[in-house]
């Protein structure tokens, strides 16, 4: 019976992992859109900067002013994209940290609260009455 339980538990864990990966990929796209479409333009307005076009040319042949054209001309060190990815990672890490912290807090609270005692069954009530009657005699 134990082997059947372990096999069932492993299937459940694999299913949970698959669902987590799918949700994580979707969450990653949401965070990517948040950073690229909301956070980076706000930072760009405040700092007069567009991180997506920050790069250092690695050869003298690169003379373009935007990253896409510069990549066509030669090698570039595109650190602006790296900054965007780091911000994406930070948002995902903070969100996961808060989610895990919340789950741990809920499991600790559930472990602290013992379940209320179950009311006695009809049999126990009847046997208690019989015992009490016999004790009176």
List, for residues 79-96, the tens digit of each pLDDT value: 887 887 788 788 888 888
Residues 79, 50 contacting (CB under 8 angstroms): no
Phi/psi of residue 116, nearest 5 degrees: -65, 145
Tally of structural domains, the chain: 1
Q: What is the model's pLDDT at position 122?
A: 92
Q: What is the pTM of this model?
A: 0.54
| CATH number for the domain harbouring residue 32 | 1.10.1200.120
| Token representation of residue 62 | 């690169």
Residue 71 lies in a domain: yes
What is the arithmetic mean of pLDDT over 29-54? 75
Closest CA to 69 of 51, 81, 87, 57: 57
Domain of 67, in residue numbers: 2-132
| H/E segment holding residue 56 | strand 56-57
Q: Which residues pair with 77 in a beta bridge?
A: 56
């Amino acid at each position: 019976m134990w082997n059947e339980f372990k096999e069932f538990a492993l299937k459940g864990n694999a299913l949970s992992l698959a669902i987590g990966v799918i949700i994580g990929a979707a969450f990653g796209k949401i965070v990517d859109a948040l950073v690229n479409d909301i956070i980076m333009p706000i930072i760009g307005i405040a700092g007069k900067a567009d991180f997506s076009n920050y790069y250092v040319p690695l050869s003298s042949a690169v003379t373009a002013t935007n990253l896409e054209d510069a990549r066509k001309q030669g090698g570039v060190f595109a650190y602006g994209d790296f900054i965007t990815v780091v911000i994406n990672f930070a948002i995902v890490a903070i969100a996961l940290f808060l989610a895990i912290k919340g789950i741990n807090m809920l499991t600790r609270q559930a472990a602290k609260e013992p379940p209320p005692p179950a009311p006695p069954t009809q049999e126990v009530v009847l046997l208690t009455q019989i015992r009490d009657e016999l004790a009176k005699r």
